[in-house]
Structure 1
Amino acid sequence: MNRILDRVGLPVTLFVLVAALAGLVHAMSPASLQRTVIVILINVVLVIGLYVFTGNSGVYSFGHLAFAMLGAYAGGLLVMPTELKEIQVPDAPAFLRAIEVSPPVAVLLAGLIAALVAIPVAIPLSRIGGLSAGLATVAMLLSMNVVASEWTDVTRGRRALSSIPTETTLAWALFWVLVVLLVAGLHQTSSSGRQLRASRDDEVAAAASGVRTSLLRGQAFVLSAFVTGVGGALFVMFLGSVSPSVFYLDYTFIIIAMLVVGGAHSLTGAALGAIVVGALQEFLRRVEGGNLLGLDIPSRPGLANIALGVLLVVMLVRLPRGLSGGRDLHWWRRWSTASSTSGAAEPHDGPEASETSQEQQTARR
């Protein structure tokens, strides 16, 4: 029982909390705020996608939304009716114009396509770290943006690919939040995930213990690309259109800020950061537009971006491990300890210390 809880307890707990909060706000809010709830859930998927690689490896990726862009175009084209593709992209390859799949299949295929594209990228990227890896991922994002902007036969270039069926509802977004939480949770508690987290904490010691860091980083990178591609497909099926500028530098900064604010080293922090920053963005957007709770107030253009930048700086200085403190929710461990009949109290320094100990033991094995 404890083994099962260790694998799925965290993602299920986070999903219950996220679903309860989203359902409550969605039921009690006007239509405009209901749409914001769905956007925040999609952001949860995207932030978790970044966390799967960055949170476990300690290597920051500044170009991960390239996979969201790829997933958005792939998902949008796959779900678009064939007759609309004849109008939107008449010069696209014949097989692409002829194919039309259901939204669930389109989202899944979008994630798989993003993962396949990530494989050749992961080979060189997994062998570098630090600033070099960050610059390499930025180059990846820039390259993907150029391809999307210039491949007019398939993407319509800088003109938006529109008329995409809008299928992403609250229930559909929540379903994929559950899926990606389970994917991320099972990965970080697996043997490869624990070894990768051990290399994040001490790469030299992990390598000396036989941990193949580059291979594990590559695996995490491909898995995170899949999750991010799913997020991109959900987003395009919510907006109904996509252009290269949607998944670019501005959105990249927001997703990274969400991960940092919540806590880059924990799955709890990834979900928490997406929700907190998303709610703050909506509040500041209303203040920016001069409308807050039905009151007319002076508009403050640019306030949202300035406030988000200030928040990020303050978090880096005051709470470098984020709102979660780098810790995950592990209520069942305390419950199992309290219900133990052995009569012997084991030393316990908190969830983070327990995780670190397990990761180090896995690395040594």
Structure 2
Amino acid sequence: MVSVTASETRSRPFLPAAFRNAFVDALAMVAVLVLAGLAVFLFGGAAMQRVVTYAAIMLTAVLGLQIFSGNTGIVSFGHAAFVGLGAYATGILTMPAALQRTALRDLPPFLAGHELSFFAALAVVLVLAVLIGLLTGTPLLRLSGSSMAIATLAMLIIVYTLLVASREITRGSQPFYGVPREVGLWTAVVVASIALLAARLFRETSFGLAARAAADDERGAAAVGVDHRTARLAAWVLSAVAAMAAGAMMAQFLGAFSPRDFYFDLGFTLLAMLIVGGMSSSLGAFAGVVVTIVVVEVVRRFEGGGVVLGFQLPVLFGLTQGVLAVAMILVIWRRPTGLFGDRELDLLRRSESASIAASAEPPRRAGAGHVAADHLSRRYAGVVAVDDVTLSFDTDSITGIIGPNGAGKTTLLNMLAGDVQPSAGSVSIGMPVGKASAFRFARAGIARTFQNIRIFPRMTVLENVVVAARQVEPDLAAAEAAAMRELARMGLEAFADRPAAGLAYGLRRRLEVARALALKPRFLLLDEPAAGMNAVETAELVAILAAVRAERRIGVILIEHDMRLVMNLCERVVVIDHGRVIADGTPAEAQTNPAVVAAYLGSRTARAHMDAKTD
């Protein structure tokens, strides 16, 4: 538990910079939506008002899809099912009792005779959406990637089949009629505005940050304490709420509907709208709906045939879906991430206000503890990567792990970080973590970097570090301040608002270290941190690591092939060969150990080369 003093609380802004930025962005989009509604209300006819009302309803549904797919990177084909469930639930709850007795004679008693107002029914639907989201999301989100996408398609088919089969409740494949048509322009605009706020703000919450980090690199996200299943479940439940709210409005907008209205055609339309605008942002969802609705309305003028520029056009059934498919293909071809890509409006710069608070709270020292490997082994089929290793590491020390390529160093580090399960033996990290896993080890104070850099390229430099800081700080404002402090330490504060994908290689290495330090770890595990760096960059990194150790008294365990770095920085050197520890002592002892010379250096010439590097 992190304590917060009264002075620290007073120095923090009321809203974190990220939330202020998101709130302003959402208000800007809401203003555009409200102005469009006001324009058609004052100057448009009934037909135009229906178009804008329908667009607002579809925007709510697409935002629901964006909350999940845009943040997790998993394409959902099943959100049309949520829209259908919301529509049928609202239809049953709001249908006049007299009509219900004739249209739904066999309706179960607990569903009959409610005759609620739209907003009362909407409240019930939202609660139902949370329950359905949890019920469907818990098993579905045990999958990932394409498996999860296919599972959502299966969910759509199952829901459609249930709606058709439940004749006593839904009238089966026959039209479900008699629903009051109480949803008009302003109801749709208000609900869509709330959905815009929710979608834009969710992106900056701890769940949204975690989901986006896991979408970029699931293993890297686990290393900074992200439980991707919990984050994805939160996104799934909120997306179900938005989609079912859209379904509730759709029911009272149409008045009559059937299960086919919420099947493949609707699912395709929702995806097309989101892909055209840009799946990863609420701005993309907003723009995709606007562009698609305009295209659809224009194309529908010609779907029934007619004369255009002197040419007689035939009746072209399915022209609208065909044009949507072509538009989606063209957008993917020319702009694979959609018209707006990953970008939000970002009307405020979140790093500026965060940097002001960056010096408000000095770094706290991590608690004491140890990491121990007890008879640790790891086998891959017939290959023994780590063989019966017993080691203990203390805080306030820097240990280097060296050895030939393929000696098992990275496998050992992965087990110490909870990233790989041992085949035999155990790892103790000085405190209970329950079931061993990378995100639990990270939350317990074991931070790490990777041999192959694992940053989150689609997130900004600041967001990369905030993801980690959010695991140990009491709120987002404190996490932003802590992230800016670590970026300043690594000389990256000037890049805070830039996408991490645009950083040069050496800066990416620094970002990964900054992200690990933001966890306030007891131990920092580094896998070849100087790989790919020049001599100047390596010297700067050595100075930073030495300063961090002195300031925080944390334990540092690093794998490195640069002998100058190891011998100058480390107080202890562990040498591994063929998965076994062959030496453990000071750098001077490692240099003179015959087993090390034979296994790692191989010859007097190589030893002389090592001695030269450490001079």
* Alignment coverage as a number of residue pairs: 356
The structure where helix makes up a greater share of residues is 1
Instruction: Give, as a single letter, the amino acid of the residue that structure 1 aligns with 2:106.
Output: D
Distance 2:305 2:126 in 1: 39
Quote the residue 1:318 is aligned against. Answer: 334
Query: Which one is further off, 29-38 or 45-54?
Result: 29-38
Distance 2:163 2:20 in 1: 43
Instruction: Give, as a single letter, the amino acid of the residue that structure 2 aligns with 1:310.
Output: V
How far 1:98 moved relative to its partner?
2.3
Quote the residue 2:192 is aligned against. Answer: 177
How far 1:351 moved relative to its partner?
9.1
CA pair 214-286 structure 1, distance change in 2 beyond 3 A: same
Distance 1:48 1:55 in 2: 9
1:283 aligned residue (270, 295, 298)? 298
Distance 2:312 2:470 in 1: 57
- 1:153 and 2:172 correspond: no
How far 1:95 moved relative to its partner?
2.3
Quote the residue 1:304 is aligned against. Answer: 320
CA pair 35-356 structure 1, distance change in 2 beyond 3 A: farther
- State the SS of the aligned residue for 2:341: coil
Contact 2:63–2:196 (CA under 8 A) maintained in structure 1 = yes
Contact 2:279–2:341 (CA under 8 A) maintained in structure 1 = no
- 1:53 and 2:62 correspond: no
Quote the residue 1:253 is aligned against. Answer: 268
Instruction: Give, as a single letter, the amino acid of the residue that structure 2 aligns with 1:72.
Output: A
Deviation digits for residues 150-206 of structure 1, max 9, x if unmatched? Answer: 101111111111010001111100110111112222222111211111111111100
Contact 2:55–2:290 (CA under 8 A) maintained in structure 1 = yes
Deviation digits for residues 252-275 of structure 1, max 9, x if unmatched? Answer: 101001011110001110111111
Quote the residue 1:81 is aligned against. Answer: 96
Contact 2:351–2:462 (CA under 8 A) maintained in structure 1 = no
- 1:17 and 2:40 correspond: no
Distance 2:210 2:190 in 1: 29
Identity across matched positions, percent: 34
2:226 aligned residue (208, 211, 215)? 211
2:124 aligned residue (103, 109, 116)? 109
Deviation digits for residues 204-223 of structure 1, max 9, x if unmatched? Answer: 10012121001111111111
The structure where strand makes up a greater share of residues is 2
Distance 2:308 2:256 in 1: 30
Distance 1:126 1:10 in 2: 30
Contact 1:111–1:228 (CA under 8 A) maintained in structure 2 = no
Normalising to structure 1: TM-score of the pair? 0.90
Distance 2:308 2:42 in 1: 17
Contact 1:269–1:323 (CA under 8 A) maintained in structure 2 = yes
Instruction: Give, as a single letter, the amino acid of the residue that structure 1 aligns with 2:254.
Output: L
Contact 1:69–1:229 (CA under 8 A) maintained in structure 2 = yes
CA pair 309-188 structure 1, distance change in 2 beyond 3 A: same
Quote the residue 1:239 is aligned against. Answer: 254
Contact 1:329–1:351 (CA under 8 A) maintained in structure 2 = no
How far 1:291 moved relative to its partner?
5.9
CA pair 352-261 structure 1, distance change in 2 beyond 3 A: farther
Deviation digits for residues 229-251 of structure 1, max 9, x if unmatched? Answer: 00001001100012100000011
Instruction: Give, as a single letter, the amino acid of the residue that structure 2 aligns with 1:305.
Output: Q
Normalising to structure 2: TM-score of the pair? 0.55
**Aligned Cα root-mean-square deviation (Å):** 2.7
- State the SS of the aligned residue for 2:251: helix
Contact 2:96–2:115 (CA under 8 A) maintained in structure 1 = yes
Distance 2:309 2:20 in 1: 45
Contact 2:179–2:251 (CA under 8 A) maintained in structure 1 = yes
- 1:35 and 2:50 correspond: yes
Larger Rg: 2
CA pair 296-88 structure 1, distance change in 2 beyond 3 A: farther
- 1:195 and 2:210 correspond: yes
How far 1:287 moved relative to its partner?
2.0
Quote the residue 2:144 is aligned against. Answer: 129
Contact 1:287–1:297 (CA under 8 A) maintained in structure 2 = no
CA pair 351-20 structure 1, distance change in 2 beyond 3 A: farther
Contact 1:284–1:304 (CA under 8 A) maintained in structure 2 = yes
What stretches of structure 2 of length at least 5 have no aligned partner? 1-13, 357-457, 472-514, 520-615
- State the SS of the aligned residue for 1:92: coil
Contact 1:6–1:189 (CA under 8 A) maintained in structure 2 = no
